[in-house]
């Protein structure tokens, strides 16, 4: 069984300091794009400031980085066989989950299947872990706070890479997202 962690707890510094989950794409918040694409799967969203119809957790203290978010999300999951890890700023990434699960099923020794993007970069926030491999890898780190997601990958015994098709693309700025569709910043009350 696959359960999915959506990381949505960053500060959005490259997006002008706004909560990326609240940024809209074609009139729909990024977090809602992902939740909609994940319909039928158990999902937990990691964010210190969202209220949703799916479980929401936060690392303690908030803004502890991606590995702290993954650890908080993993602690909130039931008992999955596989754990998907996606970033809220990659709205098309859920399309790659079946391919990643298939790759793990084909290699019983692998801890994690991760996407290598079309530009050659490994995308640790577009991955599916075996739950045991994720737990072992988290336990191997001295701390989960302020750790890059690539460090978590390096803690895994066996990583397999799956070629991306562009769906793994994450959008760090509003200008980048506007190339994907109609993008907008969240409205601030009082304006």
Rounded mean pLDDT, 19-24? 84
Q: List pLDDT tens digits, range 84-138.
A: 999 999 999 999 999 999 999 999 999 999 999 999 999 999 999 999 999 999 9
Domains of the chain, by residue range, sit at 2-184
Query: Which has the minimum average pLDDT: 9-13, 89-93, 111-115, 173-177?
Result: 9-13
Torsion sign across C-alpha atoms 125, 128, 131, 135:
negative
- The C-alpha atoms of residue 167 and residue 155 are separated, in whole angstroms, by 26
Q: List pLDDT tens digits, range 48-69.
A: 887 888 999 998 878 889 999 9
Strands 24-25 and 28-29: antiparallel
Domain 2-184 top-level CATH class: alpha beta
Q: List pLDDT tens digits, range 145-164.
A: 999 999 999 999 999 999 99
């Amino acid at each position: 069984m696959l359960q999915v962690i959506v990381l949505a707890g960053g500060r959005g510094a490259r997006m002008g300091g706004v909560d990326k989950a609240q940024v809209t794409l074609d009139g729909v918040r990024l977090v809602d794009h992902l939740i909609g694409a994940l319909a039928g799967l158990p999902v937990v969203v990691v964010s210190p400031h969202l209220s949703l119809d799916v479980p929401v957790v936060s690392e303690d203290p908030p803004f502890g980085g991606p590995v702290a978010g993954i650890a908080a999300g993993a602690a909130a999951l039931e008992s999955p066989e596989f754990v998907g890890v996606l970033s809220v700023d990659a709205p098309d990434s859920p399309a790659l989950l079946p391919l990643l699960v298939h790759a793990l099923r084909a290699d019983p020794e692998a801890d994690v299947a991760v996407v290598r993007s079309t530009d050659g970069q490994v995308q640790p926030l577009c991955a599916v872990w075996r739950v045991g491999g994720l737990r072992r890898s988290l336990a191997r780190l001295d701390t989960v706070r302020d750790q890059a997601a690539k460090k978590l990958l390096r803690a895994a015994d066996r990583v397999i890479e799956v070629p991306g098709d562009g769906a793994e693309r994450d959008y760090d700025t509003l200008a980048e997202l506007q190339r994907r569709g109609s993008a907008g910043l969240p409205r601030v009350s009082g304006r």
